[in-house]
Structure formats: C-alpha cells, structure tokens
C-alpha cells in the first residue's frame, strides 16, 4: 500500500512531539516557550536554502564585484584624459620708464616722448605752458603697463601598455598690451598654437611587464575570488549534508533511547510485581529504577545533541537572525550515499584537477610572477626619449592666426633624452628582494596545498574504510544482542538469571543500536567528505556554475530523488503483562511507504543586487537500480530498527524467532 506524500509528512509531524519527550507529549514549546513550532526540512531543501542564504557564500560573492571594480580601475589608467582650460587675466604692472636696458623700454620711451611733444604743441597753440620734463635718466619715472589677456587651451593626454605617454594640445590666446598715457588705438593680437608631445621610456617602465602589471594582478585576483566563492559554496554544501545526517542520527537515536526507557519501565513494573509476590528482592527493583534513570539521562543528551546540530544548520541556511524565529528544523529522509570504489590514484588525479584551493594557490603564485617581472624592470635607470612638434600663428583674429598656424610657416620642434638614476638604487633592489620572498612563499603554499590535498584524500579513504567496518560490526553486534535479550527473558522466566543480568543485556542492545545509527551517519558524512576532498561535491549534488559570471540571479533547479523508507519493527523488550510467561513480544505491523513524487519545475532563488555569477542545481536523475535504505525520521506508532546500508533485496534473511 502506498502512502501519499502529504500523509507521510502529517504522520511525521504528529510523531515529532513524541520524539522530543521521553514520557509526555512535550513539544518545541519546552525549548522556546509559547509560539514555537517545528518545521520539516528535506535534504535538498536545506541545500537550496544554503545556496540562497549562506552568509559566507554571499560575502565571497560580493567579493567578485569588488575585484571586478579593482580590475576596471586598473584598466582605467590607459583611458585618455581630455582637459579644457580657459581664463581671463588683467595685469596692471608699474615699471620704470628710465630703465633703458631693453629694446622694448627704448621703444616705449620714444613713444612717450613723441606723445609728450604732441601734447606740448597743443598746449602752446592754446596758450598753455608745455609739460615739464626731466632730461636725466637717473631716478624713477613711473609708467603703468596694462595687460588684458584671454587664454584658452585644450589637451588630450594618455599612455599605452608599452609605456608611451602622448599629449595633444591646442592653445588660442587674445592679448592686448598698453600703458598709461598711451593715446594710440591699441588693437589686440591673436595667438594660436598646436603641439604634439611623445615620451617613450626605453628601459625603466618600458613594455607590458611594467605597465600592465596592476591590470594582470587585478585579473588574477578576480579569478582567485571566483574560485574562493566556489570553494565556499562547496564547503557550505558539504557542511549542510554532514549536519543533516547528524540530525537524522540524533532523531533516530532519540527513538532508540525512548525504546530503552519503555523497555526499562516495563521491566521495572514486572520487578515490582515479582517483589510483591516475593519472587524478587528490593535490590532488583532498585537496579531497574537506576537503569530507567540512566536511560532518561541518555535521552536528554540525545535531545541536546539534536538541538545543537539543528542550530548549526541554521548558521548554514539562514541569512539573518530574528528574535521571533523559534523554528526547530526537523529532518525527514536522506538517501544512503553510495560508497565509491576505493581508487586512491584516481581520487588524487581528480582532486588535483578540481580542488578550488589548489587552483587558488597556483593563481597566487602567478600574481607573484607578475610582480617579480615588474620589480626587475624597476632596476633599470630611467631613460626617456622625448619629442615635440608644434605650429604657431599670430594675427589680428583667431581665424587668421589659425590659418597661419595651419600653413606651417612657423613650426617648432624638439627632441632629446631624459636620463635619471637613483644613486645606490636601494629602493628597487629592496622591492625585488621582497617580491622574491613572496614568490618563495607562494611556491611553498602550493606545496602545502598539495600536501593537504593528499592527506585529506588519504584521511577520508581511511574514514570510509573504518566506517564501513563499523557499520558491519555494529550491525552484527546489534543482531547478537537482539538474540541475547530474547534468550535472557526466557531464562529470567525460568529463574536461571537475575534481573540485573536482563538490565545489562538490554543496555548493551540499545547501545549497539545507537552505535549502528552513528556508524551509518558517519559513513554518509565520510562520503560527502570524500566528495569535498576530491573537489566533486558540486558535481555530485548537481550544482554547476556559468563559465562567465554575469548579473543573472542565482538559480537552482531541483528534481527530488526517490526516497525509500526502511521496514519498521517493534522494540525488543520484556513480554507484555497480558502475555503468558516465556512468550515473545508480538512485532508491530509493518508500514510501507512509496517514494515521494518528484517535484517538477524549477525554483528561482534570488541572490541580491551584488550578484556577479550564476549557479544551477539539479539533482542527479534516478536510475532503475533500487536505492539503498535511508535514515528516516521516526513515524507514529512504529519503532524502526537501525538499517543496513545494503539495499533491501541484498539484506540477510531475518533470524527465526
């Protein structure tokens, strides 16, 4: 009989309250008070929430935008710079007219005398005395010169990856110069010039190694940041899976502890009855009470572990803290992960090709290579080839002066070398030694990453092999203890053993069950750790990234894999009080469940305004082969036994009872 998905989830929610409490109907209100609630969470849903909300991954993702901005800033140094300058100046400057040291002063003195003669002639004609003048050149004869100038210029400057610096400039000036007492009509003059300047370094700062260093470093840093983000996503996904399997183990272990309490209480009730009938001593009752109290203590510890693990899960799948958020995430089911064939050389080959941290270390070494080439270039002296060429024009209008300049009749040019070298060259040599040290550190970091990679793979292989053996031995121990408990109850009814022997045998049984559950969880976690150690966890979980990060949203697509619930049986314990002595307990009826229907379609998960990359998540398609049994949450009315990692068709036949 197939159970619909909604009905199965409803049964899980109903059974949740019994999972929290050992004896009474306690709920999540016991932990957070009124208003608290539980929420079921499937593994694929937890992974999707981590992809959408994980703050560490978001932080690294914003870092991609930061590195892209730095790359654009480094490329911006090659952008040409256009500038326009315009100004008006008015200068009134006093000068000594008796200072005849220049030809200009002589001409000005002659002009002043001619004007004075003209003024004297006018004064004599009008009957006025002439202007008195000193014939001596000694002393100061103050004359104020007035300059009214309008200047405009525009320039275009830039540099190339070869280090060449170029500049184009245009200048247009309107000049008018006169002096106090000047009666002439002074017309302004218009000056126009155009100049080209080229400066080419020949040694220091020559070539792409010197001029593209910052841009190349920025590009490598962006690639490194993208890899860092992917590494963070991979680490978060593995942490979510590992925490989820821990929660499943804790939930199943709570059920085992509740079964132990139920069996202990039933034994305690029977011991009290036997004490009343005179078949047992008070010490047997006291020992049974101690066993029940110990089981209750273990149950409290299991509940605490479950809460700690689900709080750890919240760190991974939530993006903010809200005081009103009192949810308790309850895991549902997760597939038993297939254990790959142990092939150490193949694991190492894949890890060296796909591990993000190894690629990051290599990129960091490439950055130091770029800096090393730049530092070596800075050891050369500064030798620059400088050349200029320009044309000039002067006339009574801007148009005429521009025509004069274009005609090229009045060119100007210059060529030369600029040489500069610091004596001692201490700073460039120290910078080179610094970069050499950083390069050596980068190489050592690569070796350290290689060592960590190999040790990680070997460690995970060892864990897988160990956990496989743990699962096998724990299963065998649990089966043997199961039979031992049944035999012990028969011998107790026959009076061959004491109640203390039953308590010890029963305690070993439930401890074996807990160890088997823990071994199964650790085996699944070690498989995810192997995926992380080989750099394939994103491929295994169906997460991939676009080749070129863009501003598109962070998207996930999910196809739920088929889930298989294991068969359930009643807990092993003392016979029911209504059963005749020596009768084995009646097992609870089995429940069958159908795989949940796949959820078609895609769910878009926004990533915020700082998105710079995109990832798609698809779970691997299901195959025709039967899936292995899975760890499941406890269901109402049933007490499932710990599961074997083998598919149901391959499990050993049940022992005859």
Domain locations in the chain? 74-127+142-201+382-420
For the chain, the straight-line distance linking the first and the last C-alpha, in angstroms and rounded, comes to 26
Per the rule left: phi > 0, alpha: psi between -120 and 50, beta: everything else, 323 is alpha
Q: Which two tokens stand for residue 78?
A: 């090659």
Is 616:604 a contact under the CB 8 Å cutoff? no
Is 437:320 a contact under the CB 8 Å cutoff? no
Is 649:29 a contact under the CB 8 Å cutoff? no
Indicate whether 220 pLDDT > 60. yes
Phi and psi at 466, nearest 5°, equal -65, -45
Considering the chain, what percentage of its residues have pLDDT values greater than 90? 44
Indicate whether 168 pLDDT > 80. yes
E strands, 478-634, are 543-545, 555-556, 603-604, 615-617, 631-632
Q: What's the half-sphere exposure (Cβ side, CA atoms, 13 Å) at 624?
A: 0
Stretch 352-371: mean pLDDT: 95
- 108 versus 189: which is more confidently predicted? 189
Can you tell me the distance from the alpha carbon of 266 to that of 579, in angstroms, rounded to the nearest whole number?
A: 13
Can you tell me the distance from the alpha carbon of 196 to that of 158, in angstroms, rounded to the nearest whole number?
A: 12
Strand partners, 169: 155, 195
Is 299 in a helix, a strand, or coil? Answer: helix
| pLDDT at site 91 | 79
Can you tell me the distance from the alpha carbon of 651 to that of 471, in angstroms, rounded to the nearest whole number?
A: 13
Can you tell me the distance from the alpha carbon of 85 to that of 89, in angstroms, rounded to the nearest whole number?
A: 13
Q: Which two tokens stand for residue 258?
A: 């509740």
Question: What sign results for the dihedral spanned by CA atoms 280, 283, 284, 285?
Answer: positive
Query: CB-based burial of residue 341 (10 Å sphere; 0-12 exposed, 13-18 middle, 19+ buried)?
Result: exposed
| pLDDT at site 467 | 94
E strands, 97-232, are 142-159, 165-179, 189-201
Indicate whether 653 pLDDT > 50. no
DSSP string for 260-292: HHHHHHHHHHHHHHHHHHTSS-HHHHHHHHHHH
Stretch 295-300: mean pLDDT: 89
Is 198 in a helix, a strand, or coil? Answer: strand
pTM of the model: 0.71
| pLDDT at site 179 | 61
| pLDDT at site 106 | 61
Task: Convert 67-135 into a string of H (helix), E (strand) and C (coil).
Answer: HHHHHHHHHHHHCCEEEEEEEEEEEEEEEECCCCCCHHHHHHHHHHHHHHHHHHHHHHHCCCCCCCCCC
The closest alpha carbon to 255, from 644, 645, 632, belongs to 632
Stretch 71-91: mean pLDDT: 92
**CB atoms inside a 10 Å sphere around CB 306:** 23
Indicate whether 634 pLDDT > 80. no
Is 336:516 a contact under the CB 8 Å cutoff? no
| pLDDT at site 94 | 72
Q: Which two tokens stand for residue 382?
A: 């500064």
Contacts of residue 374, Cβ cutoff 8 Å, sequence gap at least 6: 209, 210, 213, 435
Can you tell me the distance from the alpha carbon of 563 to that of 42, in angstroms, rounded to the nearest whole number?
A: 11
Q: Which two tokens stand for residue 37?
A: 């609630």
Cα-based distances in Å from 149 to 170, 526, 553, 558, 614: 17, 84, 59, 75, 61
Question: What sign results for the dihedral spanned by CA atoms 338, 344, 346, 351?
Answer: positive
**CB atoms inside a 10 Å sphere around CB 276:** 10
Can you tell me the distance from the alpha carbon of 535 to that of 202, in angstroms, rounded to the nearest whole number?
A: 47
Exposure letters 20-47 (e unless 16+ CB within 10 A, then b): bebeeeebbeeeeeeeeebeebbbbbbb
pLDDT tens-digit map of 90-145: 877 776 655 555 556 666 667 777 777 777 777 777 777 776 555 444 445 556 67
Indicate whether 564 pLDDT > 70. no
Can you tell me the distance from the alpha carbon of 280 to that of 288, in angstroms, rounded to the nearest whole number?
A: 12
Alpha-carbon Rg for the chain in angstroms:
45
Q: Which two tokens stand for residue 588?
A: 């609870």
| pLDDT at site 154 | 95
Query: CB-based burial of residue 251 (10 Å sphere; 0-12 exposed, 13-18 middle, 19+ buried)?
Result: buried
Query: CB-based burial of residue 428 (10 Å sphere; 0-12 exposed, 13-18 middle, 19+ buried)?
Result: middle
| pLDDT at site 639 | 39
CA-based max dimension of the chain = 164
Residue with tokens 């429940």: 591
Contacts of residue 278, Cβ cutoff 8 Å, sequence gap at least 6: none
Per the rule left: phi > 0, alpha: psi between -120 and 50, beta: everything else, 614 is beta
Can you tell me the distance from the alpha carbon of 646 to that of 649, in angstroms, rounded to the nearest whole number?
A: 8
Can you tell me the distance from the alpha carbon of 623 to that of 301, in angstroms, rounded to the nearest whole number?
A: 39
Element (H, E) at 479: helix 426-493
E strands, 471-558, are 543-545, 555-556
Can you tell me the distance from the alpha carbon of 423 to that of 379, in angstroms, rounded to the nearest whole number?
A: 12
Report helix angle 426-493 to 356-377, nearest 10.
170
Max mean pLDDT among 13-17, 196-200, 622-626 falls in 196-200
| pLDDT at site 20 | 40
pLDDT tens-digit map of 299-328: 999 888 988 998 899 999 999 988 878 888
Indicate whether 259 pLDDT > 70. yes
Stretch 376-401: mean pLDDT: 92
The closest alpha carbon to 589, from 631, 656, 638, 642, belongs to 638
Can you tell me the distance from the alpha carbon of 224 to that of 209, in angstroms, rounded to the nearest whole number?
A: 21
| pLDDT at site 102 | 54
Give 400's pLDDT tier (boundaries 50, 70, 90): confident
Question: What sign results for the dihedral spanned by CA atoms 283, 285, 287, 289?
Answer: negative
Phi and psi at 74, nearest 5°, equal -65, -35
**Helix spans in 343-425 (H):** 344-354, 356-377, 398-407
Can you tell me the distance from the alpha carbon of 485 to that of 468, in angstroms, rounded to the nearest whole number?
A: 26
Average pLDDT, the chain: 76
């Amino acid at each position: 009989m197939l159970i619909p998905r909604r009905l199965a989830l409803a049964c899980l929610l109903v059974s949740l309250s019994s999972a929290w409490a050992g004896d009474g109907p306690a709920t999540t209100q016991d932990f957070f008070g009124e208003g608290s609630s539980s929420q079921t969470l499937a593994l694929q849903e937890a992974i999707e929430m981590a992809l959408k909300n994980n703050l560490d991954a978001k932080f690294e993702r914003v870092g991609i935008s930061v590195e892209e901005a730095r790359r654009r800033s480094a490329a911006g140094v090659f952008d040409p710079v256009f500038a326009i300058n315009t100004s008006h100046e008015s200068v009134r400057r006093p000068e000594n007219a008796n200072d005849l040291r220049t030809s200009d002063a002589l001409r000005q003195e002659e002009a002043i005398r001619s004007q004075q003669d003209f003024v004297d002639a006018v004064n004599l004609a009008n009957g006025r005395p002439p202007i008195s003048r000193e014939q001596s050149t000694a002393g100061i004869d103050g004359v104020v010169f007035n300059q009214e100038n309008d200047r405009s210029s525009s320039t275009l400057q830039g540099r190339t990856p070869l280090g060449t610096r170029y500049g184009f400039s245009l200048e247009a000036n309107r000049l008018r110069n006169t002096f106090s007492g000047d009666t002439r009509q002074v017309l302004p003059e218009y000056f126009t010039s155009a100049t080209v300047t080229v400066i080419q370094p020949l040694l220091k700062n020559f070539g792409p190694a010197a001029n593209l260093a910052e841009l190349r470093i920025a590009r490598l840093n962006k690639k490194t940041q993208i890899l860092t983000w992917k590494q963070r996503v991979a680490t978060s996904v593995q942490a979510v899976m590992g925490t989820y399997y821990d929660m499943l183990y804790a939930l199943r272990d709570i059920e085992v502890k509740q079964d132990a309490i139920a069996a202990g209480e039933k034994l305690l009730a029977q011991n009290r009855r036997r004490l009343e009938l005179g078949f047992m001593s008070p010490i047997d009752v006291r020992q049974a009470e101690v066993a029940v109290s110990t089981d209750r203590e273990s149950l409290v510890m299991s509940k605490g572990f479950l809460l700690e693990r689900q709080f750890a899960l919240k760190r991974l799948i939530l993006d903010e803290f809200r005081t009103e958020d009192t949810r308790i995430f309850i895991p549902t089911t997760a597939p038993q992960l297939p254990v790959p064939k142990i092939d150490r050389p193949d694991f190492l080959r894949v890890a060296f090709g796909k591990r993000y941290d190894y690629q990051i270390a290599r990129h960091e070494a490439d950055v130091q290579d770029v800096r090393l080439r730049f530092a070596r270039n800075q050891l050369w002296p500064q030798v620059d080839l400088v050349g200029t060429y320009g044309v000039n024009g002067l006339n009574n209008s801007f148009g005429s002066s521009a025509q004069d300049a274009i005609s090229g009749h009045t060119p100007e040019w210059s060529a030369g070398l600029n040489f500069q070298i610091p004596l001692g060259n201490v700073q460039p040599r120290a910078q080179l030694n610094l970069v050499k040290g950083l390069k050596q550190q980068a190489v050592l970091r690569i070796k350290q990453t290689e060592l960590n990679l190999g040790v990680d793979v070997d460690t995970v292989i060892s864990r897988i092999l160990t956990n496989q053996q743990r699962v096998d031995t724990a299963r065998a121990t649990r089966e043997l203890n199961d039979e031992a408990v049944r035999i012990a109850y028969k011998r107790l009814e026959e009076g061959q053993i004491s109640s203390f022997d039953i308590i010890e045998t029963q305690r070993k049984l439930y401890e074996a069950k807990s160890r088997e559950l823990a071994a199964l969880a650790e085996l699944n976690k070690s498989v995810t750790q192997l995926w992380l150690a080989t750099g394939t966890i994103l491929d295994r979980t169906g997460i991939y990234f676009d080749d070129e990060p863009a501003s598109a949203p962070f998207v996930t697509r999910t196809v739920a894999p088929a889930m298989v619930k294991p068969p359930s049986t009643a807990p092993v314990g003392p016979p029911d009080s209504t059963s005749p002595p020596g009768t084995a307990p009646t097992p609870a009826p089995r429940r069958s469940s159908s795989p949940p229907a796949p959820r078609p379609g895609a769910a878009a998960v926004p990533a915020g305004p700082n998105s710079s990359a995109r990832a798609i998540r698809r779970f691997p398609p299901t195959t025709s082969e039967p899936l292995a049994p899975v760890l499941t949450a406890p269901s109402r009315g049933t007490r499932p036994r710990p599961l074997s990692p083998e598919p149901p068709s391959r499990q050993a036949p049940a022992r005859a009872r």
